[in-house]
Structure 1
Amino acid sequence: MADVKAGPNPLFLREEELRRAIELLFFAYRDFTGEPDRILAKYGFGRAHHRVIYFVGRNDGISVSDLLRILKITKQSLSRVLGQLVAEGFIVQEQDDSDRRRRLLTLTDKGRMLERSLTERQAARIARAYRAAGPDAVAGFSKVLEEIIDEQNRRFLD
């Protein structure tokens, strides 16, 4: 557990409050991924497929090595997922003209449709929560999430 005894102990740093935050993150993530999981299951896909589809969609023409850096998974894991997405026509791989060793990834129309379907549901859930919480809470929530992310990984947010 975090060192809650160091320095002043505001109420939000008490162990019970920290545990509540952990539980909120678990339950929020479960519900945030629930509907996309059901859609992905229809294709025989899982959350790894979702992450690949999402980040390829957000970074058109991303290299395999850059995608590996974002996802922090092994080449073997990505190869299995990417191979399936390519074989089923959701992603195309092309060689980089400037470096033939690099493979660049782009969503196909079919891939864009799936990415949009998954993202629209998650965006709607976030929009509902943002409207209910208000702008000050949204700014605070974003700051908290950014601070949870390891500092060296925050560069991927841009």
Structure 2
Amino acid sequence: MIDFSSPATQHEALAAFFKAYQAFTARPDDMLARRGLSRVHHRILFFIARSPELSVSELLARLKVSKQALNVPLRQLVQMRLVDSRTDADDKRKRLLVLTADGLKLEAALRKEQIRLLRQCFEQLDDSAVAGWLEVNLALARHW
């Protein structure tokens, strides 16, 4: 059992987490930067891809950001024709978000890069290590 009360272990865990996050986001960040986009745009694309016709209010709840924080990056994605914003047929006040063909292509390329990296890492580990990694990540996600 790892002694997480040790400052050295805590430091090592934090350093590993930050380095892993940098590795996980580096290639997608480069791909986005070439289009003048950033990680916030990636998060928007990710959530819309998982739930086509996601409403703006549902997206705000998933991202846990204010309307003001979402306004500029979402507008940029719409202007770049990566996201389409449609009026809900049942509620004209509600805007539904879907990825365009180009948005789907970009999101798939970003996801493919991250899946490639995860697969490469998982192939170096046994099943219990991968299960432990997933368990830790799910526990972290419950705190968000």
Deviation at residue 129 of structure 1 after TM alignment: 0.9
**SS at the partner of 1:43?**
coil
Question: What is the match of residue 20 of structure 1?
Answer: 12
CA RMSD of aligned residues (A): 1.3
Equivalence for 1:59: 51
Provide the C-alpha distance between the structure 2 equivalents of 1:129 and 1:29, rounded to a whole number of angstroms: 13
Structure 1, unmatched stretches of 5+, are: 1-9, 154-158
TM-score, normalising length from structure 2? 0.93
> 2:91: which partner in 1?
99
- 1:80-132 per-residue CA deviation (whole Å, 9 max, x = no partner) reads 00101001100001111122211110000000110011110000000111111
Pairing 1:39–2:31 present = yes
Tell me which residue corresponds to 1:90.
82
Runs (5+) with no aligned partner, structure 2: none
Aligned equivalents of 2:127 and 2:53: distance in 1? 34
Question: After TM superposition, what 4+ stretches of structure 1 lie above 4 angstroms from structure 2?
Answer: none
Structure 2 residue matching 1:104: 3-state secondary structure: strand
Q: Structure 2 vs 1, CA of residues 18 and 32 (structure 1 numbering), >3 Å: closer, same or farther?
A: same
Amino acid of the residue matched to residue 12 of structure 1?
D
Deviation at 1:12, TM superposition (A): 3.3
Tell me the CA shift for residue 11 of structure 1.
3.1
Moved more, 96-105 or 117-126: 96-105
Q: TM-score, normalised by structure 1?
A: 0.86
